[in-house]
Each structure stands twice: as C-alpha cells, then as structure tokens.
C-alpha cells in the first residue's frame, strides 16, 4: 500500500495560486547564454552551474528563449558533432518561451503545456531576463 502524505497545517489565506504573478514564483537570478554560443559550451555551463535550463539572450542582452538540457541531448543523439558546431539560437522553439513578470501562473502553466516545454524565461519590459519559471517552481508553489 502506498503512503499518502497529508499536511496537517491549515491552508494559508490569500490569492489563488493560479492568479499569482510569474515574478512571485520565478527563480532568480538566472543563468544566461548568448544565442551565438555553441551547444557544447552551453552544456558545459549547465554542468558547471548544475542547471537544467539556460535563458538565451541576443547580442543586446534581450531574452529570446530558453535552452533545456533535453534539447542538447536530442541534438547530440541526432548528430554528436552538432555540439561543436550548432548554435544555441538555432534550437529555440517558436513561439519563444518568454513571459512578462506580471503573467499569471495559470497562463504560464498553460503556455508550458501547449508548447511542450518545462521552463519559460521571465523578461522585463525591455526584454532583459529577470528570472525563469520551471516545472519545479510550479510544483514548489503547489506544495507550499
């Protein structure tokens, strides 16, 4: 028989979890990489930082998407040589996995589900990355 965890603490009053802003649940500061970086270098950075996602920025530091470790793994499985020649920017999904700080958690979760991604970058009005919301962040929100 499986054990079921039941939290004896009373529910905290406040706004519905899904109505909270992305800025309330995002992880920050965020690690970023240029869209011109080769995949192998991005992978080394992920390993060094112990991160599964990197926010991708253009030459002006504006957020253009998120690179996931599974994207690098898929590229390697398709062609191991791609890690030394393929640029991060060429692997990004469309639409870009980027939301504003005021995006509602429900909208972030729906975007992640619709696009099959497990992370979205959070960028300010000027496009500068301020954080990242991952599936882990959403689980932590539900478990709090």
More confidently predicted of 5 and 76: 76
Token readout for 84 is: 């030394």
pLDDT digits (tens, 9 = 90+) for 76-116: 999 999 999 999 999 998 889 999 999 999 999 999 999 99
Q: How confident is the model at residue 143, as a pLDDT?
A: 86
The domains located in the chain, with CATH, are: 17-143 (3.10.580.10)
Secondary structure of residue 45 in the 3-state scheme: helix
Is residue 13 pLDDT above 90, yes or no? Answer: no
- Kindly list the strands in the beta sheet with 53-57, ordered across the sheet, starting from the edge strand earlier in the chain: 32-34, 53-57, 63-68
pLDDT digits (tens, 9 = 90+) for 107-144: 999 999 999 999 999 999 999 999 999 999 999 998 87
The whole-angstrom separation of Cα 128 and Cα 58 is: 10
Q: How confident is the model at residue 8, as a pLDDT?
A: 53
Residues 63/121, Cβ–Cβ less than 8 Å: yes
Q: Could you tell me the pTM of the whole model? A: 0.85
Q: How confident is the model at residue 15, as a pLDDT?
A: 56
Is residue 28 pLDDT above 70, yes or no? Answer: yes
The whole-angstrom separation of Cα 128 and Cα 115 is: 22
């Amino acid at each position: 028989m499986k054990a079921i965890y039941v939290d004896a603490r009373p529910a905290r009053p406040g706004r519905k979890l899904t109505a909270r802003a992305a800025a309330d649940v995002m992880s920050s500061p965020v690690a970023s990489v240029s869209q011109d970086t080769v995949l192998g270098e991005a992978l080394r950075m992920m390993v060094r930082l112990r991160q599964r996602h990197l926010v991708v920025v253009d030459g002006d530091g504006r957020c253009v998407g998120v690179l996931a470790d599974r994207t690098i793994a898929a590229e390697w499985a398709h062609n191991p040589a791609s890690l030394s020649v393929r640029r991060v920017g060429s692997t990004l999904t469309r639409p870009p996995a980027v939301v504003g700080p005021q995006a509602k958690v429900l909208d972030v979760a729906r975007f992640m589900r619709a696009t099959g991604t497990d992370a979205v970058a959070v960028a300010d009005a000027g496009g500068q990355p301020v954080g990242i919301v991952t599936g882990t962040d959403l689980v932590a929100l539900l478990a709090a």
